[in-house]
Copies of this chain bind each other. A is one copy, B any other.
Amino acid sequence: MVKITDVARHAGVSPSTVSYALSGKRPISEETRQRIEDSIRELGYRPHAGARALASSRSNVLALVVPLRTGIHVPVVMQFAVSVVTAARRHDHDVLLLTQEEGEDGLRRVADTALVDALIVMDVQLHDRRLPLLRALDRPSVLIGFPAEPAGLTCIDLDFKAAGELCVEHLAGLGHRVIGLVGSPPEVYVRETGFAQRVVQGFTAAADRNGLSSSVHPCEAAPAAARQVAEQLLRERPALTGVVVHNEPVLEPLIDAFESLGLRVPGDLSVTAICPDEVAEQTRVPVTSIAIPTAEVGTGAVELLMRKLGGATAVPEATLLSPRLTVRGSTMPRP
C-alpha cells in the first residue's frame, strides 16, 4: 500500500504538505501542487479512508434508511436511493444502506461509531418513533417526508397537499363538478403516513373552495379492490366525471374497471393521478399526472445535509417541492 509519506518523499515535500495540497485547506504553490499531483498519479496513491476518518473525524459517508413495508412503491424507493447516491458522490461522499428493520438501534450504531457523518431517513411517519433519537443524535439528519411535529428537524418532500389541490384545480378548470379521490390502502392512513393524509387534505380543501362535490375512497393495492371502488363510486355518485388516483398499482386496473363499466376515459370520465411518470405513461390511456420528483428530493436532501455538515447556520427546516402537473390524454373538459 502506498501512503502519504511515500508520496511526500517522492515529491520532495513533507506529508503535511501533501495533505494540504489534497484538501486545499492551506495555500500551496502551483509548482509544488503540480509535483505532488504527479507523484500521486505515478504512485497510484489513495488515501486510506479509515485513517482519514480517524484523523479528521469525518467519514465522508452518509446513511440512507430505506423503507421495507407494504404499500409503498418499490421503484420510487429505488429512484430516491439512486439520486441520493449520485448527489452524495458529487460531494465526495458515499452512502451506507440501512434497512428500516434495523430501526433506532441501527441509526444509533452508525452515528455513535462515527461510521457516518449524517443520515437521511425515508418514509417518515407522522408520529415516527425515530424522531426523538434523530433530534438527540450528534450528527445532522434530513427526513424525506414530514412528521406531525417537524420542529427541530430538517424535512424535504413533495408538497402533497398542493399536489392534491392541483389535481382538483385542474379538474375544476375543465368544468368538472363531481369528483372522487381513490387513495392509498387503508393501512397507509392507519399508520399515519403523512403524505397520504396531506393529499386528502389538499383534495378536500380545493374541492370545497371550488364548490365541487367530492368524496374520498381508500383502496387496497389489488385489481379486485379497484373494481369494487369503481363500482361503488358509480353507484353512489352517478354524476361523477373526475377522479384523482393516489395509488400506483391500482391506476391501470381502475381505468380498466371504469371502461368495462361503460365509462370511457377521458370521454366520460377524466382521470388524474399522483404517481411516477412511468406509471402514468404505461397505462392504455396515458394519464395526466403529478410525479414525485424523486431526483430533486434526493438531491435536495443531500444538499441540505452538506450545508449542515458545512456548518451552515440557517438551513431551512421545511422544504416543500411544488407539484408539477403533466397533462396527458386522460383528462378533458366536462362533456
Which residues of A line the B interface, CB within 8 A? 44, 46-54, 57, 59, 61, 64, 68, 74-75, 77-78, 81-82, 85-86, 89, 94-99, 101-102, 109-110, 112-115, 222-223, 282, 284
| Inter-subunit contact B46/A50 (CB<8 Å) | no
Q: Are B110 and A85 within 8 A (Cβ)?
A: no
As for how many copies of this chain the complex holds, the number is 2
CB–CB B114/A86 < 8 A: no
Which 5 A-B residue pairs are closest in the complex by CB-CB distance? A50-B53, A46-B112, A50-B54, A49-B115, A49-B113
Complex Cα distance, B59 from A177, in Å, reads 61
CB–CB A99/B85 < 8 A: yes
Residue pair A99, B78 in contact (C-beta under 8 Å) = no
Q: How far is the CB of A77 from chain B (nearest CB, A)?
A: 7
Known interface pairs A50-B59, A54-B48, A114-B49; A89-B74 also in contact (CB < 8 Å): no
Contact A113 B48 (CB under 8 A): yes
- Residues of chain B lying within 8 A (CB to CB) of residue A85: 97-99
Contact B96 A115 (CB under 8 A): no
Are A61 and B113 interface neighbours, CB within 8 A? no
Given contacts A54-B51, A59-B49, A77-B78, contact A86 B112 (CB under 8 A): no
Q: B57, B64, B115, B223: which contacts A97 (Cβ < 8 A)? A: B64
Knowing A48-B113, A49-B59, A94-B96, say if A78 contacts B89 (CB, 8 Å). Answer: no
Checking B53, B99, B109, B112 against A82 with a beta-carbon cut-off of 8 angstroms, the contacting residue is B99
Q: What are 24 A-B contacts with C-beta separation under 8 Å?
A: A46-B112, A48-B54, A48-B113, A48-B114, A49-B50, A49-B53, A49-B59, A50-B53, A50-B57, A54-B54, A61-B96, A64-B97, A68-B82, A74-B75, A74-B78, A75-B75, A82-B99, A85-B97, A85-B98, A85-B99, A96-B96, A97-B97, A223-B282, A223-B284
